[in-house]
Chains A and B, each alone.
Chain A
Amino acid sequence: MTTILTNPLRVGLRQERVISPQCIVIFGASGDLTHRKLIPALFELFRQRRLPSEFAVLGCARRPWSDEEFRQKMGDSLAEQVAEHPRAWDAFAQGLFYEPVDLQQPEHLVRLGTRLEAVDRLRATRGNRTFYLSVSPEFYGSGCRALAGAGLLADPERSRVVIEKPFGRDYASAQALNKVVQACAKESQVFRIDHYLGKETVQNILVLRFANTIFEPIWNRNYIANVQITAAETVGVEERAGYYESSGALRDMVQNHLTQILALTAMEPPGRFDPEAIRNEKAKVLQSAHLAREDEPWKCCVRGQYAAGGSRAQPLSGYRQEPGVNPNSTTETYVAMKVFIDNWRWQGVPFYLRTGKRLPKRLSEVVLTFREAPVHLFDAAGGAPTPNQLILRIQPDEGADIKFEVKAPGSGMRSRPVDMAFSYDESFGEPSDEGYVRLLADAMLGDPTLFTRSDEVEAAWRLYTPLLELIEEAPWQLPVHPYEARTWGPAASDNLLAEDGLIWRRP
């Protein structure tokens, strides 16, 4: 990694789009996400002058804090940034307010409405509101109902609601939640977060594909042999056991993040760069995706669970030994699967998805492997020529690589593979916006491009329904294979590809 010096000429050049005066109302203001991500992201936007002066944050949760307490608490948890920019913090903190609200008490929301009008007058926020539901998922539906009940979502131009992940636990619950949400607000008011879409390199998949002419002609079954999408984490379950036990890798990572990457990689070009056009294509491609063996899903999916591992100096405990985890837990921490997309572009091209915790490296990438040259004219240094690959590195070391064959130096006509690499760091060297900075800005701008629409979420859940049902009804058919911590998952996962004569890319 290159060290990042800021480019002094770059300062202040990110205000392409302006956020209009508004009040962002955060439910769950006393929670973890608010002080760890949301307030820091808003403060960052404020420091970059991307927020207007007419701006307010109204924190809401049940505990009876005062405005002053809320400011103090947020200041304490951002101590480092506050110390670095004390004056900016003072100015920012003036726009922080707090109102005790229990989402289950309708009269609290009526009081909230009155408070919001007062904030509008005080801060000239023009009645524009972004409601951010950073509360437990069980409150997403009732929270929307409560907001709508108090008339706070009545104006579709001036009110929006942001919903955190996870959106549902399966197809049926996502559908039910969508019904509730859509009864309360128009789809254009609803912003479902998938924080992977906030990453610049995920967005870059779109730009790379559709701003260049050299990729699109070969981006199909005629040239591409298979696609691998990997999201690997080195960490274990950490303090999230409570949540993770009931979720597992399939719900936590695959249904949302990996599926979004799959959609961006495989979608058709949208007619124009417009949120609905893009989301139409994403929804369409997900609707044509299905597990390679829907009738016998255990044949195209592998689950795993990390067991103890690590080194003698740094031993790592297994998942079942982690605090808060059931010692007989069958929750998967690793999952790999094979998916097909039934359309003209991708018919017959396997997409392999995998994700896991306690793998050897933290990385996310998409690897497109091209078909082999029809005739092998040259001896390859490694036996057969390596097929061409395009690797989109999402994190870390964001960038792209193309692997192709060149003549090996020396006599004869032997070929060997080389890399042509592009790295964000070397080319731009600017830290890109943290995901929440981008997503909050977009939600406040009312730009839904990077948020998932109801039909996308439902299509994503439907894609994995056979697996979820199997895990529910006949878990023994989809056992969790143990794998040693800090290895690339269970052997069964390698077999999944070996059946097709392939191997996972070892990054």
Chain B
Amino acid sequence: MRPQALRLTRSAPPAPHPPRAMSTQLTLQAPLEVPPAEVTPYLERLWHDGLEGSTGAATFTLLVWDPAWLEQQLVRIGRVDGPITGLDRADVLDAAREIVTLVGLPPSTAPMDPRLAWAVGQQPGSHAATDLRGRTVESAISSLTPRRLITLAPTLDDGHPLETLVAAYCPLPEDGGTGGAACGDVVVLRGGMGAMKQGLGLLQSLVGNDLPCWVWWNSSLDEPPEMLEALAPPPRRLVIDTSLGDPRRCLEVLVDRIDRGQALNDLNWLRLRSWRESLAMVFDPPSRRDALGRVVQLDIDVEGEHPVKGLLLAAWIADRLGWHLVASESVAADVGHGIAAEFQRTDGATVRFRLMPVPVGVPKAHPGAIVGLRLICEPAGRPPLCVILCSESGGCMRLESGGMASMELAEEVVPLPEESEERELARLLGGGHDTTNPLLAAAAPLAAELLPSAAP
């Protein structure tokens, strides 16, 4: 087989799939299918003989677990058109929102909630579509010229045998490519779960040890732990999303990986940035600093029943302000259960904390998005200060009601981040760290402690 370098071309995605946020996608011209056993020798030959004078970019390897279950299921039942891309697609989110109640889930179920993909999986249908996973690269990522992009693309059909696709690529000059010799290569492993396990055998030699490697677990953390374990041993840097999967499992993975000293990035935590920024802004004027030491109450409202994001926010505040957790319990709420907890401030006084799920009409893509936050402070010798932050898209009436007439009120609207997952990821890859962000590392164990051990 004569190795051949392919160029990324800027082409419209093959079907009308607008990505969620403005971005260009680069589609790889059809990679070559080679037998699994041939992948490593083929790539070696490619770089030694085929691409003389080029050893590829000395950058990093990105390994993506990309099941795209929801997209695959929606394509299968004919709710969205193929091909399957594995990217953030607006039409998939729309179709998901439409189908939520039809499959018997509460209307505030987030489209990305893994329960939805499962429920859609129970629907009849057998539409087939081309599978382009691993072949379409967000330009924000390709401009970083990853040395190797490996996509694991499990299929719905469990018996699907292992297919391996390979290509060399170079981003277009305007996206940061040199336009000359190839920069990196792309490997796609596709097949049923059995085939994926078989594919694991290839990974060690594909990843190598020379360059930093990021593993993006682009799926629910409820999926087989062996797979996560096999793909992401330290020192690979792991990217997860703790909004996807059972909350306890999500927090366990988070804490466990941080304990093991792995560089861990959580997209759910990163999506808190605008909330943290808005809250910090309120306390920028030095005249308000004193109030920060005198917080008596913290309330957070979240969408649906996924508390992890809200808990991470609370844990970050508690950690920054030096609070100590006294007790936490589950409490009944209008929908499902909330969490009530008590902290002790550094001066010994008590802080009451409540996290409440609230129903919403149009949920955000990810479960457990924050709806609002209220912080009440009682600074010495001054009227109490009540800080209310509300999500741009919804009101936070619950937090605005009751008993605040005598307080100084600081109200802010928190803008929604408008970035696709791929762009968020590109930021991580662009300025990589080999350790976990210390703020997240401090907040994660506290968030796990805040989750009560059992519902009442």
Given A155-B178, A426-B285, A429-B285, A9-B437 contact (CB < 8 Å): no
Given A426-B287, A429-B285, A11-B320 contact (CB < 8 Å): yes
Given A9-B317, A53-B433, A2-B176 contact (CB < 8 Å): no
Residue pair A9, B283 in contact (C-beta under 8 Å)? yes
Residue pair B432, A53 in contact (C-beta under 8 Å)? yes
Residue pair B286, A5 in contact (C-beta under 8 Å)? yes
Residue pair A7, B284 in contact (C-beta under 8 Å)? yes
Residue pair B439, A18 in contact (C-beta under 8 Å)? no
Residue pair A10, B280 in contact (C-beta under 8 Å)? yes
Which residue of A has the minimal Cβ distance to B427?
A18
Residue pair B292, A8 in contact (C-beta under 8 Å)? yes
Q: Is B330 in the interface zone, CB < 8 Å from A?
A: no
Residue pair B434, A53 in contact (C-beta under 8 Å)? yes
Given A157-B176, A426-B286, A52-B320 contact (CB < 8 Å): no
Q: Mark B144-185, 1 if CB is under 8 A from A, else 0.
A: 110000000000000000000000000000001010000000
Q: Which of B58, B212, B280 contacts A7 (CB 8 A)?
A: B280
Q: Is A127 in the interface zone, CB < 8 Å from B?
A: yes
Which of the 9-residue segments A68-76, A118-126, A360-368 touches chain B?
A118-126
Residue pair B433, A52 in contact (C-beta under 8 Å)? yes
Q: Is A427 in the interface zone, CB < 8 Å from B?
A: yes
Residue pair B284, A3 in contact (C-beta under 8 Å)? no
Q: Is A4 in the interface zone, CB < 8 Å from B?
A: yes
Nearest-CB distance from B8 to chain A (Å)?
Answer: 16
| C-alpha gap A100/B276 in the complex (Å) | 45
Given A52-B433, A124-B211, A429-B284, A11-B439 contact (CB < 8 Å): yes
Q: Is B325 in the interface zone, CB < 8 Å from A?
A: no
- Which A residues touch B431, using CB under 8 A? 15, 18-21, 50-52
Residue pair A9, B280 in contact (C-beta under 8 Å)? yes
| C-alpha gap A425/B286 in the complex (Å) | 8
Residue pair B432, A157 in contact (C-beta under 8 Å)? no
Nearest-CB distance from B159 to chain A (Å)?
Answer: 40
Chain B contributes a number of interface residues (CB within 8 A of A) equal to 35
- Which A1-33 residues sit within 8 Å CB-CB of chain B? 2-5, 7-13, 15, 18-21
Which residue of B has the minimal Cβ distance to A5?
B289
Inter-chain contact count A-B, CB under 8 Å?
Answer: 87
Q: Is A378 in the interface zone, CB < 8 Å from B?
A: no
Residue pair B286, A4 in contact (C-beta under 8 Å)? yes
Given A18-B427, A426-B287, A124-B320 contact (CB < 8 Å): no
- Which B residues touch A5, using CB under 8 A? 286, 289
- Which A residues touch B212, using CB under 8 A? 53-54, 124
Nearest-CB distance from A129 to chain B (Å)?
Answer: 13
Q: Is A49 in the interface zone, CB < 8 Å from B?
A: yes
Q: Mark A121-145, 1 if CB is under 8 A from B, else 0.
A: 1001011000000000000000000
Given A9-B276, A12-B437, A126-B176 contact (CB < 8 Å): no
Q: Is A379 in the interface zone, CB < 8 Å from B?
A: no
Q: Is B60 in the interface zone, CB < 8 Å from A?
A: yes
Residue pair B58, A124 in contact (C-beta under 8 Å)? yes
| C-alpha gap A54/B212 in the complex (Å) | 9
| C-alpha gap A12/B277 in the complex (Å) | 10
Q: Is A430 in the interface zone, CB < 8 Å from B?
A: yes
- Which B411-449 residues sit within 8 Å CB-CB of chain A? 427, 430-435, 437-439
Q: Is B59 in the interface zone, CB < 8 Å from A?
A: yes
| C-alpha gap A120/B212 in the complex (Å) | 13
| C-alpha gap A460/B282 in the complex (Å) | 41
- Which A52-102 residues sit within 8 Å CB-CB of chain B? 52-54
Q: Is A428 in the interface zone, CB < 8 Å from B?
A: yes
Q: Which of A9, A120, A430 contacts B279 (CB 8 A)?
A: A9
Q: Which of B176, B292, B320, B432 contacts A21 (CB 8 A)?
A: B432
Residue pair B285, A52 in contact (C-beta under 8 Å)? no
Which residue of B has the minimal Cβ distance to A117?
B58
| C-alpha gap A169/B198 in the complex (Å) | 69
Q: Which of A7, A124, A157, A426 contacts B283 (CB 8 A)?
A: A7
Residue pair B435, A3 in contact (C-beta under 8 Å)? no
Nearest-CB distance from A368 to chain B (Å)?
Answer: 26
- Which B residues touch A9, using CB under 8 A? 276, 279-280, 283, 292, 317, 320
Nearest-CB distance from A5 to chain B (Å)?
Answer: 5
Residue pair B433, A49 in contact (C-beta under 8 Å)? yes
- Which B residues touch A429, using CB under 8 A? 284-286, 289
| C-alpha gap A124/B273 in the complex (Å) | 28
Which residue of A has the minimal Cβ distance to B292?
A8
Residue pair B284, A124 in contact (C-beta under 8 Å)? no
Q: Mark B306-330, 1 if CB is under 8 A from A, else 0.
A: 0000000000010011000000000
| C-alpha gap A332/B279 in the complex (Å) | 50
Given A11-B439, A18-B430, A121-B320 contact (CB < 8 Å): no
Which residue of A has the minimal Cβ distance to B211?
A124
Residue pair B289, A7 in contact (C-beta under 8 Å)? yes
| C-alpha gap A127/B320 in the complex (Å) | 38
Nearest-CB distance from B243 to chain A (Å)?
Answer: 21
Which residue of A has the minimal Cβ distance to B286?
A429
Listed from nearest, the 10 A-B pairs whose CB atoms lie closest are A18-B431, A429-B286, A9-B280, A53-B434, A8-B320, A52-B431, A10-B280, A18-B430, A428-B284, A126-B59
- New A-B contacts (17) at CB < 8 Å, excluding given A9-B317, A428-B285: A2-B286, A9-B279, A10-B283, A12-B438, A12-B439, A13-B276, A20-B430, A21-B59, A21-B431, A54-B432, A124-B211, A126-B58, A126-B145, A157-B176, A425-B286, A426-B287, A427-B285
Contact surface of B with A, Cβ cutoff 8 Å: 57-60, 144-145, 176, 178, 211-212, 273, 276-277, 279-280, 283-287, 289, 292, 317, 320-321, 427, 430-435, 437-439
Give 13 A-B contacts (CB < 8 Å), ordered by A residue.
A7-B289, A9-B317, A10-B284, A12-B437, A13-B273, A15-B431, A20-B430, A21-B431, A52-B432, A53-B433, A124-B58, A126-B59, A428-B284
